[in-house]
Structure 1
Amino acid sequence: MINTLDFSKRLQKVIEFYDETASSFAEKIGVQRSSISHILSGRNKPSLDFVMKVLHSYPEVELYWLMNGKGEFPKPQEKEQKPIQPQLSLNEIAQTASKSSEIEKIIIFYKNGSFKSYEN
């Protein structure tokens, strides 16, 4: 269950981090100013739609941090993995492996779970 008071403190932190007013924040995420006021005061709990609008408009906000305080804000920047560029063409690699086979696709998997696909 979400703690409304703690949620409102985290929401206030987001608003202050981006140097927004409650009105400008409401406008940016597409809700009425009164919705922000009611959530910040603890009168109302945030809806799923409200939370999703915050996450969509402010990608640096982590869902788990916003909802229950676990995680970090702002979200740590993921280090961009630079894909390894093959020095040979796919056909050259295929010819090296076997004269009769042709490579259709090469997929490189990174430790962070991302991947890059190269197709012939």
Structure 2
Amino acid sequence: MVNIEDFIKRLEIILDYYGLNASAFADKIGVQRSSLSHLLSGRNKPSLDFILKILDVFPDVDLYWILNGKGSFPKNNDPIRKQENNLEPVERTIPTVPTPEVTATRDLFSEEKNKGDKNSFASKSEEIQNAVNSSISADVEKIVFFYRDGTFKVFTPN
């Protein structure tokens, strides 16, 4: 019988070796994320299908090693084997958002200017209408103002 606690430790070794988090690992082997979560928490035991999916996707995993800790991982200690699974490191970048070239005389979203009450909506709408008409009126569908009290107003250019 498989010792679940030891199995979980070996599964975490596999995750670390390949640089995957639990959800990416679940996606990679084709199981539901919740199934892997339940398994890692010790709630569920691994099924034969689960084990076979791991062995199919990750050929470096030895059946006897993952089941009872006997054998070795990876099967072949050659670091080139990692690359055969097409697991490339993920480069995390923050995408840049291009800013539209709208020339406005005032910043409509600063704290100081939003301190006024909702009655200033008409003047802000007029200012936005002028900015929209001057540059990007064909691209703007609507503008929504969200207020701190949970209300909102929708502005739709002509």
State the TM-score, normalizing by the size of structure 1: 0.63
- The CA distance in 1 between the partners of 2:21 and 2:66, in whole Å, is 18
More relative contact order, 1 or 2 (CA 8 Å, 6+ apart)? 1
Aligned length: 78
Q: CA deviation at 1:41?
A: 1.1
Corresponding residue for 2:75? 75
The aligned amino acid for 1:65 is W
Which residues of structure 2 form unaligned runs of 5+?
A: 79-158
Q: CA deviation at 1:45?
A: 0.5
* 1:3 is aligned to 2:6: no
Q: Structure 1 stretches (4+) deviating beyond 4 angstroms?
A: none
Which residues of structure 1 form unaligned runs of 5+?
A: 79-120
- The CA distance in 2 between the partners of 1:77 and 1:38, in whole Å, is 30
Q: CA deviation at 1:16?
A: 0.9
* 1:44 is aligned to 2:47: no
Root-mean-square deviation over aligned CA pairs: 1.3
* 1:60 is aligned to 2:60: yes
State the TM-score, normalizing by the size of structure 2: 0.48
- The CA distance in 1 between the partners of 2:29 and 2:42, in whole Å, is 19
- The CA distance in 2 between the partners of 1:77 and 1:37, in whole Å, is 28
What secondary structure sits across from 1:59 in the alignment?
Answer: coil
- The CA distance in 2 between the partners of 1:9 and 1:35, in whole Å, is 16
- The CA distance in 1 between the partners of 2:77 and 2:12, in whole Å, is 22
Q: CA deviation at 1:35?
A: 1.0
- The CA distance in 2 between the partners of 1:57 and 1:5, in whole Å, is 23
What secondary structure sits across from 1:13 in the alignment?
Answer: helix
What secondary structure sits across from 2:10 in the alignment?
Answer: helix
- The CA distance in 2 between the partners of 1:10 and 1:77, in whole Å, is 16
**CA displacement 1:22-52 (0-9 Å, x = unmatched):** 0110000000111111111111100000000
The aligned amino acid for 2:38 is H
**CA displacement 1:58-115 (0-9 Å, x = unmatched):** 000000000000000011269xxxxxxxxxxxxxxxxxxxxxxxxxxxxxxxxxxxxx
The aligned amino acid for 1:12 is E
What secondary structure sits across from 2:14 in the alignment?
Answer: helix
Structure ID, larger Rg: 2
Corresponding residue for 1:96? none
